[in-house]
Each structure stands twice: as C-alpha cells, then as structure tokens.
Structure 1
C-alpha cells in the first residue's frame, strides 16, 4: 500500500483528469468526489475509478458534447449529459434540483447519456446540508442477473435516500448487485478473486474470476426482493431517458427527487426528530455477542473523520503508480510506499 495525504491524492486525481481533457474546474469536481470515496474507505470508487475514467475516455472515438437541459418546468428538468462523466453530470443535476426544491418545495431531475455517476450519498449529503430530503436512483448497462437467472438484465443500479438531521444527515445508499462494478474492476486490476456467489461467467457457471464476471453477469443483492428493487431502479433510470440496455459503459440514468420538509412540517423540528430517531436506533439492545447498532452512513462517516484526523489515506501501490503515470509525473505526487 502507499500512504498519501488527502491533498496529494486530490492533486494526483486533478492532474490526471486535466491531462485526460477536463478543465481545471471539472477536474476539481471529479477529484472531490473520488477523494471522498477514499476517505470513507470505499477504495473501489476512489483513485482506482480515475483510471477507469481515463480508460473510458481513451476508448471513445467521439469527443463528449456539452451537458444540456433538454426539457424543463418550474419543478423538473431533464439533462442530456453529452456522454460526459457522471461526476460532472450528477453535480449539474443536483444543483438544478436543489435550486428548484428551495424555490418550490419539490424537484424532480433526470439525466441520461452519462456514465460513472459515483456515490449517491455524496450528492445526498450536499442536499441534506441544504435542508432537503431526497432520493437518487441510477440505472446502467445490463451486467446484473435477475434472481434465478445468470444473464445480465439490470445495471448495478444503486439507490439512496437522504434526510437532513442535526448534527449529521441520515443517508442510506446501496447497490442492488451482490458486487459493484467498480469493485470487480479493481479486483481485476489487482489480480484478486471475487467472493463465492457474486458472479457468473459467460456460460452461466459461477465464477470467482473478475475478468470472467465482466464477460458474464453479477449476482443480484437480496434475492427476489433485491431483484425487484433493481428492476424498479432500472425503470426510474429509463424515466430519465436512459436506454434499458445501453452498450458498454454508456447512457446511465440518473434520477433525483428532492423535497423540502418545510412544505409539510416545521423543518427544524423535523431535523431534531430525525436525529432523535437515529439515536433511538443506535440505542437498540444489540444481539448477544454483537456490537453496537449503527445507523446507515455512520461507518463511512466515522472512517472519513478518522482519515481526516490522521491526515493520510492508504491506497494500493499499483493504483498510485498507474495514477502517477496518467498524471504525467512519477516523482512529485507525494506518498510513501508500505509493503
């Protein structure tokens, strides 16, 4: 592993993204998102994802277009992402949704023609900071098999909900696949195996090989219930205009709904009640031999706080070296190798 400071990691991603054709401002938006993943212990969505972004850009013959609003009302908007990376499209969609929800109490924003929209809790934390509750759902290429099947029909299809609270929001963010696409890519990069039961190869046989899984299908999370939820998320992405089965890494759907609690109840009282309810959940008597009960988002937020207090993050040495090559600087990116 390689030890980096957060500022070194941010600079490394920014340099690689700028070299890949993004403006400095765009590179900063992408780096902020990927660094937050690393700080929260979600390495498959961190610096390793920057390598996947560069590879996707290189593999695309046509240059990306602008992010455009193609339909709009006072409380809604539809974006065409111009085949630009989703970290940029998602932030544009979120900013629109926040502005509309603040003005009118509710907003629905959809985006299509984008890819790699990242960690939905990242967006919902910003929405909660603005006093808004919300849901984000995202569809994608058919790489996940429905319950009982071995061929891809769904994307990994994350769905997340966020609620403003004092002092920290309550956020639930899950993928509806047994393993996320970024995790499979990272394990393929590092030569690691998948866990049993997570994937099938192209013939439908169970596999531990991430490369074979990328040619076959991932399993769905949560049996028939998770499979149903995955189908719902795919349909929400299609409502944003995305294809049901887009080719390759393309045309992911991004569907955002934000609500101002103040249109239904006293907003500050709601924040306090959310916090009190979350504390009541944490205070639940644990099972015998079990640890303290946690609320969703507690673990990753605590991981981020500890990383910031420590002032360092640990990243795979192979990923860091590849990132340094992409950034065009193998000697000045900072960091100390361990192991």
Structure 2
C-alpha cells in the first residue's frame, strides 16, 4: 500500500483528469467526488475508480460533446450528457434540481448518455444541506442477472434517499447487485477472488474469478425482492432517457427527485421529526450490546472525520503507479 496525504491524493486525481482532456474546473469536480469516497473508506470508488475513468476516457471511439438540457419545464429537466463522465453530468443535474426545488418546491431531473455517475450519497449531501428531501435512481448497461437467471439484464442499479435533519442528514445509498462493479474491477486489478455467490461466468456457472464475472454476470442482491427493485430502477433510468443495451459502451440513466419538506408542514418541522426519529433508532436495544444500532450514513461520516484528522489515506500500489503514469501522458 502507498500512503498519500489527502492533498497528494486529490492532486493525483485532478492531474489524471486534466491529462485526459478535462478542464481544471471539471477535474476539480471529479476529484472532489473521488476523494470523498476515499475519505469515507470506499476506496474502490476513489482513486481505483479514477483508473477506470482514465481507461474509458482513452477509448479511441469515445466521442464527448457538451452537455445540454434537451427538455425543460418549471419543475423538470432532461439532460443530454454528450458522453461526458457521470460525475459531471450528475453534478449538473443536482444543481438544476436544487435550483428548481427552491423556486417550485419540487423538481425532477433526468440525465442520460453518460457513464459512471459515482456515489449517490455525495449528491444527496448537497440536497439535504439545502434543506430538501432527495431520491436518486440510476441504471446502465446490462451487468447483473435477475433472480433465477445467470445472464445480465440489469445494471448494478443504485438507489438512494436523503432526508435533512437538525443534526446530520439521514442518507441511505445502496446498489442492487450482490457486489459493486467497481469492487469487481478492483479485484481483477489486484488478482483477488470475489466472495462466493456474487457472480457467474459466461456459461452461467457461479464464479469467484473477477475476470470471468466481468464477461459473465453479477448476482442480484436480495433475491426476488432485490430483483424487483433492480427492475424498477432500470425502468426509472429508462424514464431518464437511458437506452437499455448490452455491450462495452455505457449509457447510464440518472433520475433525481428533490422535494421541499415545507410543502407538507410548518418550516423546519420535518427536520425536527427526522432528528427525533434518528435518536429513537440509535436508542434501539441492540442484538449485540457491543454494537449499537446506527442510522444509515453514520459509519462513513465518522470514517471521513477520522481520515481527515489523520490527513492521510492508504491506496493500492498499482493504483497509484497507474495514475502517476497517466499524469505523464496526454489523450
């Protein structure tokens, strides 16, 4: 492992994105998201994901165009992503949704023709900081087998909800595959096996080989219930404009709904009720007295504060080496 200061890690991500043709401002947006993943203990979504971005950005057939708003009303918008990385497209969608919710009380924004939209809780921290409730659903290419099957039909299809409170926000962010695509890619880079029961090879045989899984299928999370949720999210992504297809080219759908809770009560009342309910959850008698009940998002928020206090993160050697090489190259 390589120990980097947080600033060194941020500079490495930023330089890698600039080397791949992004402006300094765009690279700052992407790097901030990646480093937040590292700080929250989700390294597969941090600098390791940056390596995947570099690889995809250097595909000779990738044709990036400016993002544009294709359709719009007072409370909605549909963004044509122009094959830009999802960290930029989803950031724009979040900006628009928050702005419209401030004026209208509610907003829904969809985006498509993009790829790798990142960690939805990152966007929902912005939504809840603005005092709003948010929901995000995202889909993409067929990577995950439905319950009872061994061929890919869904993407990893994350869904997330965020609720403002008087204290820390309550944010729940989860995928609907048994393992994330980013974890599988990182396992392949490191030559490590996958957990049992998380993937199938191209012939439909359960596998722990990440290379076989990437050309086969990942397993769905939660049996038939998780499969139904994945199906619903796939359709929401299609509502946002995503084209449902197989193949190496990504087309992610991103749908964000933002609601002002003051539409349904006195100003600030909902925040107070969320804080009270979170305290009730924490006070639940635990199954193990040594492991108290936590509210979603608390673990990663605590880990972020811990890493910020230490000022350093640990990153796999191959990830650091690959990114340093990328910084010396231009598209």
Q: Give the TM-score of the pair, scaled to structure 1.
A: 0.95
Q: CA deviation at 1:290?
A: 5.3
Look up the SS of the partner of 1:172 in the other structure.
strand
Partner of 1:163: 163
User: Could you tell me whether the CA contact under 8 Å between 1:140 and 1:246 is conserved in 2?
Assistant: no
Q: List per-residue Cα deviations over 1:306-328 (Å, max 9, x = no partner).
A: 00011111111111111111122
Distance (whole Å) between structure 1 residues aligned to residue 112 and residue 60 of structure 2: 17
Change (3 A) 1:161 1:295: same
Distance (whole Å) between structure 2 residues aligned to residue 213 and residue 86 of structure 1: 23
Partner of 1:237: 237
Partner of 2:111: 111
Q: Which deviates further from its counterpart, 51-60 or 157-166?
A: 51-60
Q: List per-residue Cα deviations over 1:77-100 (Å, max 9, x = no partner).
A: 000100000000000000000000
Distance (whole Å) between structure 2 residues aligned to residue 129 and residue 289 of structure 1: 33
Q: What does 1:173-322 correspond to in 2, within 5 Å?
A: 173-288=173-288, 291-322=291-322
Q: Is 1:23 the equivalent of 2:20? A: no
Unaligned runs of 5+ in 2: none
Q: List per-residue Cα deviations over 1:26-60 (Å, max 9, x = no partner).
A: 00000000000000000110001111011111114
Change (3 A) 1:60 1:164: farther
Q: CA deviation at 1:205?
A: 0.3
User: Could you tell me whether the CA contact under 8 Å between 2:170 and 2:295 is conserved in 1?
Assistant: yes
Look up the SS of the partner of 2:166 in the other structure.
coil
Q: CA deviation at 1:62?
A: 4.1
Distance (whole Å) between structure 2 residues aligned to residue 258 and residue 213 of structure 1: 35
Q: CA deviation at 1:267?
A: 3.4
Q: What does 1:69-80 correspond to in 2, within 5 Å?
A: 69-80=69-80
Change (3 A) 1:246 1:80: farther
User: Could you tell me whether the CA contact under 8 Å between 1:141 and 1:250 is conserved in 2?
Assistant: yes
Partner of 2:172: 172
Q: CA deviation at 1:288?
A: 4.1
Partner of 1:334: none
Partner of 2:138: 138
Q: List per-residue Cα deviations over 1:193-242 (Å, max 9, x = no partner).
A: 10000000000000000000001000000010000000000000000110
Partner of 1:81: 81
User: Could you tell me whether the CA contact under 8 Å between 2:120 and 2:173 is conserved in 1?
Assistant: yes
Distance (whole Å) between structure 2 residues aligned to residue 258 and residue 250 of structure 1: 26
User: Could you tell me whether the CA contact under 8 Å between 1:68 and 1:81 is conserved in 2?
Assistant: yes
Divergent runs of 4+, >3 A: none
Partner of 1:55: 55
User: Could you tell me whether the CA contact under 8 Å between 2:18 and 2:24 is conserved in 1?
Assistant: yes
Partner of 1:332: none
User: Could you tell me whether the CA contact under 8 Å between 1:13 and 1:327 is conserved in 2?
Assistant: no
Q: CA RMSD in A?
A: 1.1
Unaligned runs of 5+ in 1: 330-339
Partner of 1:335: none
Q: Is 1:3 the equivalent of 2:14? A: no
Q: Give the TM-score of the pair, scaled to structure 2.
A: 0.97
Distance (whole Å) between structure 2 residues aligned to residue 303 and residue 322 of structure 1: 26
Q: CA deviation at 1:75?
A: 0.1
Look up the SS of the partner of 1:99 in the other structure.
helix
User: Could you tell me whether the CA contact under 8 Å between 2:62 and 2:83 is conserved in 1?
Assistant: no
Distance (whole Å) between structure 1 residues aligned to residue 166 and residue 4 of structure 2: 31
User: Could you tell me whether the CA contact under 8 Å between 2:44 and 2:182 is conserved in 1?
Assistant: yes
User: Could you tell me whether the CA contact under 8 Å between 1:67 and 1:79 is conserved in 2?
Assistant: yes
